[in-house]
Chains A and B, each alone.
Chain A
């Protein structure tokens, strides 16, 4: 222990002066995720990449050594759908629907676009609530305070999306380094188009088209029809512009066409069914997000049949509290959702549905840990929980060749814990992002149990 402390101190002190070229975590248990667990081994990280991992890896002479005795090394966690790093995240449209997946939103963020009222839209041709061309990679802000907060939970990587309007823009895989240059944070871009379907309150609305869910769906459908047509016309023009009217450049369609996949919201079973059919009409590769009713056998069947990967919100629905809350007055369906939502990951795992977990507005490390633990208490194994927060999201986004597991050559994103990850009393000792070491603040990772914080994620 003294040794460890000494090593930590050394490294911390050194970090202030200069980054070590290489770090070797020695004699630690290594959960690689992609391969078998190494009971006692060494991970070497050099220049931001994993240089070596294994039982009999030599500690390089120039490496700073972390004594891993009694510690476990995991790949850095990936939050598969996040707004961390996005400036002014908290849009009007998405907020009306209760946020991503009906869960929480980051209330602290300020809606930049909401302040400036958009011109009234008179139809799809006005491209309402569309910023499909926005790139999270361009927008990412290294000064977002939440970067440090969620890193305390072992999250080294987020897949961040702009989230204003219906077509919010394209996401990026972001490494949570406290860098000066935002460009250093981007691991991959674009990852997909984030689509929100809004509140769909119906009626006149006042904000113009679309004002209902069916209007939004029609709009989204029209955009993809237009994109298909646009592609044809552009190709014809590129082939032979002579004598042909040039097609008008349409940035909304350009943004849509650039996206390798789309993200569609589906929380209730009805929505899962609806959006699976809708995605087939759009003829786009897609991912569903939200999925609070994925615990229902019918929903599991639908997802299995569709073979669609899903991002499961860990903002588990919980009954409200206080004198004005009467559980008796809620529907049986709602009560079942409170009771069973967290069983969804285990059920999807069993059914072979590819899923990743996302924090859905939970930022505090304690809340994130509890939310994962709740799924584990509801039947999800630790291995599967870990995979749903590491390699599976990496696979879903096609970046498993660089993040998501501890393998030679991959990016040096690691979480070092004392105790099993996701347990109540486990301390996250350090987090490596791009090989840079961060030590979570004591109150974030180490202070569990003492200061009880607000608990949206719930706990058993």
Chain B
């Protein structure tokens, strides 16, 4: 019932979502900028951007004042690995290379998980294809602009990505006897069935992609010379791989074991592309130097382990060890629920590995921003950056902290007080509708309805 009420509420809040950003001054806050220390003072937000930060600021006339009352302001949380906000499945698990599938095509801006993530302080998320394939589908970075349409959610200018996956999920799907796939659905036998096969699938795909790229390069050269050749066939499977080879698309690789992490870096070196991030990367601590040398980021879990064989060697010190070895490290959720308290996930690195407050917070703000190539826009509270801000009632690296307000692009998208105070009216409105429909049913007598449902 509570879930339902929230859903009802959220539907209404969607209609109230801000249309334009106003000038806002957040006063009297403990501002944890992440990149520029902590400031007790104010933040001025103008045209959706952070205009000024300081103990004393110039408050523009007519600005909306938010008195933080000594509460904590942090940059919007960024989740580098999420599967929310999709329609019709996030795994095209039928093939080992599903790069033609694109999350961008199936964004569902009405997914309630977006609003709940927002209520947990998340303002940006990397929405990934599932991990059923060696080379999975295309990924997209979204801002949690609840109430906006699918296109308006897309983080404009963010480099799109592609999901790779190694190990159990991929080869389990290819069990020669068939069986249960990564998502629980029964699947038919599919190559590969071993880690060796996974490498082979990736090499074969990039061999194909290189030939494809050469074909297009030759065509473009001819066109440049003024010839009129027939263009090659556009292949939606190979297009994104071509983009990877051209450095126009990031590779986010689901990985567990150190041997397969090394394998993928070798393959990438052979074909001349980079792995942007290793996702999960639970044995990253074993090969942290190599990951750092490759220039890849590591997006891992805080302290989750042993949920499958390849996760047996996981340690909660993983994030800290990789960080110290020079890897840009983020902590991700991979889960709609965990996504709502990534602040406490970050806090765990202070216990395991002795990260500082700033280092811990970085792992859910500026570091994932770097991994996604959007750190010029988000990830810290700096003048000129997007005003994506989260106001916590207490010290944010604590279980007791609650999100009070969330701003994206300088507009308030979540407000705990408004959310709670609107619930009674929403419930009443809903009850009215329920009563009306029930009454109609009674009037219509015993005729059975079987009309189409939407869902």
Report A's interface with B, CB cutoff 8 A. Answer: 98-99, 101-104, 120-124, 197, 199-219, 221-222, 225-226, 229, 232-233, 236, 267-271, 273-274, 277-278, 292-293, 298, 313, 315-321, 327-339, 360, 452, 454-460
- In the bound complex, CA of A160 to CA of B451 (Å): 22
- B422 in the interface (beta carbon within 8 A): no
In the complex, which residues of chain B have a beta carbon less than 8 angstroms from the beta carbon of A318? 449-451
Q: Whole-angstrom distance from the CB of B423 to the nearest CB of chain A?
A: 12
Q: Whole-angstrom distance from the CB of A381 to the nearest CB of chain B?
A: 23
- In the bound complex, CA of A8 to CA of B74 (Å): 83
Q: Can you add 17 more A-B contacts, CB < 8 Å, to A219-B100, A331-B11?
A: A201-B88, A203-B183, A204-B132, A215-B100, A218-B236, A268-B110, A273-B150, A274-B107, A292-B452, A315-B452, A318-B449, A327-B437, A332-B11, A332-B429, A332-B433, A338-B437, A458-B449
Q: Given known contacts A202-B88, A204-B188, is B94 in contact with A327 (CB within 8 Å)?
A: no
Q: Given known contacts A212-B92, A452-B447, is B183 in contact with A202 (CB within 8 Å)?
A: yes
Q: Whole-angstrom distance from the CB of B359 to the nearest CB of chain A?
A: 37
CB contact list, B97-111 vs A, under 8 A: 98, 100-103, 105-110
In the complex, which residues of chain A have a beta carbon less than 8 angstroms from the beta carbon of B95? 122-123, 208-209
Judging by beta carbons under 8 Å apart, are B449 and A321 in contact?
A: yes
* B237 closest partner in A (C-beta): A123
Contact among B8, B100, B184 for A124, CB-based, below 8 A: B100
Judging by beta carbons under 8 Å apart, are A202 and B89 in contact?
A: yes
In the complex, which residues of chain B have a beta carbon less than 8 angstroms from the beta carbon of A222? 100, 235-236
Contact among B103, B110, B437 for A335, CB-based, below 8 A: B437
In the complex, which residues of chain B have a beta carbon less than 8 angstroms from the beta carbon of A269? 110
- B185 in the interface (beta carbon within 8 A): yes
Q: Given known contacts A203-B93, A207-B94, A455-B447, is B452 in contact with A99 (CB within 8 Å)?
A: yes
Judging by beta carbons under 8 Å apart, are B94 and A211 in contact?
A: yes
- B421 in the interface (beta carbon within 8 A): no
Judging by beta carbons under 8 Å apart, are A203 and B187 in contact?
A: yes
- B35 in the interface (beta carbon within 8 A): no
In the complex, which residues of chain A have a beta carbon less than 8 angstroms from the beta carbon of B440? 460
Residue contacts A-B, CB under 8 angstroms, 21 given:
A99-B452, A197-B88, A200-B88, A203-B91, A203-B93, A214-B129, A222-B236, A236-B230, A270-B110, A274-B150, A318-B451, A319-B449, A328-B4, A328-B434, A338-B451, A339-B433, A339-B437, A456-B450, A458-B451, A459-B444, A459-B447
- In the bound complex, CA of A388 to CA of B4 (Å): 37
Judging by beta carbons under 8 Å apart, are A332 and B430 in contact?
A: yes
Main SS of chain B's interface residues? loop
In the complex, which residues of chain B have a beta carbon less than 8 angstroms from the beta carbon of A204? 91, 93-94, 132, 173, 181-183, 185-188, 190
Judging by beta carbons under 8 Å apart, are B106 and A334 in contact?
A: no
Among B8, B231, B453, residue most surrounded by chain A Cβ atoms (within 10 Å): B453
- B87 in the interface (beta carbon within 8 A): yes
Report B's interface with A, CB cutoff 8 A. Answer: 1, 4, 7-8, 11-12, 86-95, 98, 100-103, 105-110, 129-130, 132, 137, 149-151, 173, 178, 181-188, 190, 230-231, 233-237, 426, 429-431, 433-434, 436-438, 440-441, 444-445, 447-455
In the complex, which residues of chain A have a beta carbon less than 8 angstroms from the beta carbon of B100? 124, 215, 218-219, 222
Contact among A101, A219, A327 for B452, CB-based, below 8 A: A101
* B438 closest partner in A (C-beta): A327
Judging by beta carbons under 8 Å apart, are B452 and A104 in contact?
A: yes
Judging by beta carbons under 8 Å apart, are B233 and A226 in contact?
A: yes
Q: Whole-angstrom distance from the CB of B352 to the nearest CB of chain A?
A: 34
- In the bound complex, CA of A298 to CA of B152 (Å): 14
Contact among B11, B149, B182, B188 for A273, CB-based, below 8 A: B149
In the complex, which residues of chain A have a beta carbon less than 8 angstroms from the beta carbon of B7? 331-333
- In the bound complex, CA of A456 to CA of B7 (Å): 27
In the complex, which residues of chain B have a beta carbon less than 8 angstroms from the beta carbon of A123? 95, 237
In the complex, which residues of chain A have a beta carbon less than 8 angstroms from the beta carbon of B233? 225-226, 229
Q: Whole-angstrom distance from the CB of B426 to the nearest CB of chain A?
A: 7
In the complex, which residues of chain A have a beta carbon less than 8 angstroms from the beta carbon of B130? 202
In the complex, which residues of chain A have a beta carbon less than 8 angstroms from the beta carbon of B187? 203-206
In the complex, which residues of chain B have a beta carbon less than 8 angstroms from the beta carbon of A293? 454
Q: Whole-angstrom distance from the CB of A275 to the nearest CB of chain B?
A: 10
Judging by beta carbons under 8 Å apart, are B452 and A332 in contact?
A: no
* A230 closest partner in B (C-beta): B233
In the complex, which residues of chain B have a beta carbon less than 8 angstroms from the beta carbon of A455? 444, 447-449
Among B90, B151, B173, B441, residue most surrounded by chain A Cβ atoms (within 10 Å): B441
Contact among B11, B92, B178, B438 for A211, CB-based, below 8 A: B92
Among A102, A218, A269, A332, residue most surrounded by chain B Cβ atoms (within 10 Å): A332
In the complex, which residues of chain B have a beta carbon less than 8 angstroms from the beta carbon of A339? 433, 436-437
* B189 closest partner in A (C-beta): A120
10 closest Cβ pairs, A-B complex: A202-B89, A213-B88, A200-B88, A204-B187, A203-B185, A318-B451, A212-B89, A318-B449, A204-B181, A332-B8
